[in-house]
Structure 1
Amino acid sequence: MLLLTKIFGPWALTAFAGPKNLDILPAANTYVQIRALAWPTILVGWVAQSASLGMKDSWGPLKALAVASAVNGIGDIVLCIFLGYGIAGAAWATMVSQVVAAYMMIETLNKKGYNGFTFSVPSWNEVLTILGLAAPLFVMMISRVAFWALVTYFATSLGTNVVAAHQVMIQSYGMCSVWGQPLSQTAQSFMPELIYGINRNLSKARILLSSLVIIGATLGLVLGIVGTSVPWFFPNIFTPDQTVIQEMHKVLIPYFIALSVSPGTHSLDGALLAGRDLKFISLSTFGCFSLGAVLLIVKIYSLVH
Structure 2
Amino acid sequence: MGINCFCWAEEYAYCPCRKYLCSDSRLSMASTSHWLGCSKRKPWHEDSWGPLKALAVASAINGIGDIVLCSVLGYGIAGAAWATMASQVVAGYMMMAALNKKGYNAFTISVPSADELLSILVLAAPVFVTMISKVMVQTFCMCTVWSEPLSQTAQSFMPGLIYGVNRSLEKLNYSQDVLVSKQARTLLKSLVIIGCIVGIILGSIGTFVPWKFPNIFTPDQNVIQEMHKVLIPYFMALVITTPTLSLEGTLLAGRDLRFISASMSGCFTLGSLLLLLVSSKGLGLAGCWYALSGFQWARFFLALRRLTSAHSVLYTEDLSRFKVQKLKAT
Q: Deviations over 1:50-86 (max 9, x none)?
A: xxxxxxxxxxxxxxxxxxxxxxxxx9xxx69978796
1:228 is aligned to 207
* TM-score computed with the length of structure 2 as normaliser: 0.48
1:267 is aligned to 246
* TM-score computed with the length of structure 1 as normaliser: 0.51
Q: Deviations over 1:259-303 (max 9, x none)?
A: 100110110010000001111111111111111111111112112
Q: Which amino acid aligns with 1:170?
A: V
Aligned residue pair count: 184
TM-superposed deviation, 1:170 = 0.7
Q: Structure 1 282/190 Cα, relative in aligned 2: closer, same or farther at 3 Å?
A: same
- 1:288 aligned to which of 252, 267, 275: 267
Q: Structure 1 256/27 Cα, relative in aligned 2: closer, same or farther at 3 Å?
A: farther
Q: Which amino acid aligns with 2:266?
A: G
Distance 1:299 1:203 in 2: 44
Q: Deviations over 1:1-27 (max 9, x none)?
A: xxxxxxxxxxxxxxxxxxxx9667326
Distance 1:38 1:175 in 2: 31
- 1:247 aligned to which of 217, 226, 231: 226
1:193–1:199 CA contact under 8 A, matched in 2: no
2:163 is aligned to 196
Distance 1:214 1:39 in 2: 45
Q: Deviations over 1:124-159 (max 9, x none)?
A: xxxxxxxxxxxxxxxxxx99x96x567457x4xxxx
Instruction: Determine if the alignment matches structure 1 residue 175 to structure 2 residue 154.
Output: no
Distance 1:187 1:35 in 2: 38
Q: Structure 1 86/213 Cα, relative in aligned 2: closer, same or farther at 3 Å?
A: farther
1:187–1:209 CA contact under 8 A, matched in 2: yes
Q: Deviations over 1:221-243 (max 9, x none)?
A: 00000001111111111111111
Structure 2 gaps, min length 5: 1-17, 38-54, 67-82, 89-120, 168-179, 285-330
2:217 is aligned to 238
- 1:60-71 aligned at under 5 Å gives the runs none
Q: Which amino acid aligns with 1:189?
A: S
Q: Structure 1 289/228 Cα, relative in aligned 2: closer, same or farther at 3 Å?
A: same
Q: Which amino acid aligns with 1:187?
A: A
Distance 2:199 2:36 in 1: 31
Q: Structure 1 82/205 Cα, relative in aligned 2: closer, same or farther at 3 Å?
A: farther
Instruction: Determine if the alignment matches structure 1 residue 26 to structure 2 residue 32.
Output: no
1:13 is aligned to none
Instruction: Determine if the alignment matches structure 1 residue 205 to structure 2 residue 184.
Output: yes
Instruction: Determine if the alignment matches structure 1 residue 279 to structure 2 residue 264.
Output: no
Q: Which amino acid aligns with 1:301?
A: S
Q: Structure 1 241/208 Cα, relative in aligned 2: closer, same or farther at 3 Å?
A: same
Q: Which amino acid aligns with 2:232?
A: I
2:130–2:137 CA contact under 8 A, matched in 1: no
1:71 is aligned to none
Distance 2:36 2:140 in 1: 24
2:199–2:243 CA contact under 8 A, matched in 1: yes
1:256 is aligned to 235
TM-superposed deviation, 1:199 = 3.9
1:224–1:256 CA contact under 8 A, matched in 2: yes
1:16 is aligned to none
1:172–1:227 CA contact under 8 A, matched in 2: yes
Give the match's secondary structure for 1:303.
coil
- Relative to total residues, which structure has the larger helix share, 1 or 2? 1
TM-superposed deviation, 1:36 = 4.0
Q: Which amino acid aligns with 1:260?
A: V
Distance 2:25 2:224 in 1: 23
Q: Structure 1 302/150 Cα, relative in aligned 2: closer, same or farther at 3 Å?
A: farther
Instruction: Determine if the alignment matches structure 1 residue 214 to structure 2 residue 193.
Output: yes
2:21–2:84 CA contact under 8 A, matched in 1: no
TM-superposed deviation, 1:33 = 3.1
Q: Deviations over 1:180-212 (max 9, x none)?
A: 011111111111111012144222111111111
Q: Which amino acid aligns with 1:173?
A: F
Distance 1:39 1:193 in 2: 40
Distance 1:245 1:35 in 2: 36
Distance 1:35 1:190 in 2: 41
Q: Which amino acid aligns with 1:266?
A: L
